[in-house]
Amino acid sequence: MFTIDQIKAAHSKVKSGADFPNYIQELVQLGVTSYETYVSDGHTDYFGKDAYHTSTTPAYDTLFIAEISNAEQFKIDLNAHQQGQTDYPTFCKDCAKSGIEKWTVAMDKMTCTYYDKAENKLLTEIIPQ
């Protein structure tokens, strides 16, 4: 099964949202079936076959997640990030300001879904391949 060190090596190649599709393909090759990233501290829970699960430690100091989500601002910030205009730490701060609590990636569907604190789906995107 995959390790956090392997995932970190793959993630180290991501400089902006433009690098995200290649990162996802590398995770698939490692055996990751899905993952959830929590904006509040940046930790991620990774899942694989046969109920395999591993998690990272928090990646940064705790961010305050806005109580009320702002889907429109989030879409603007996400678009900027996907075009390489922001780095990962900035994207996470933008998510927190827009009320994004976490995102989940499903490798079988090649989707990334963003949720607010009330578990409402704010956006589901198909990951380009």
Q: What distance in Å separates the CA atoms of residue 59 and residue 102, rounded to the nearest whole number?
A: 14
For 88-113, b/e burial (b = at least 16 CB within 10 A) is: beebbebbbbbbbbbbbbebeebebb
Please check whether residue 48 is in contact with residue 32, taking contact to mean a CB–CB distance below 8 angstroms.
yes
Matching residue, tokens 């899942």: 47
pLDDT for res 21: 85
Residue 16 DSSP SS3: coil
For the segment 60-110, what is each residue's pLDDT rounded down to a tens digit?
999 999 999 999 999 999 999 888 898 889 999 999 999 999 999 999 999
For residue range 22-34, what is the model confidence (pLDDT) as tens digits?
A: 899 999 999 999 9
- Residue 73 is encoded by which pair of tokens? 């601002």
| Residue 31 near residue 1, CB atoms below 8 Å | yes
Q: How far is CA 70 from CA 10, 32, 115, in A?
A: 31, 30, 11
Amino acid identity at 15: K
Q: What would the pLDDT profile of 11-23 be if each residue is shown by its tens digit?
A: 898 876 678 888 9
Cβ neighbours, 10 Å, residue 81: 21
Q: How far is CA 32 from the centre of its chain?
A: 14
Asked whether 117 and 67 are in contact (CB, 8 A), the reply is yes
Residue 17: alpha-carbon gap to chain centroid? 10
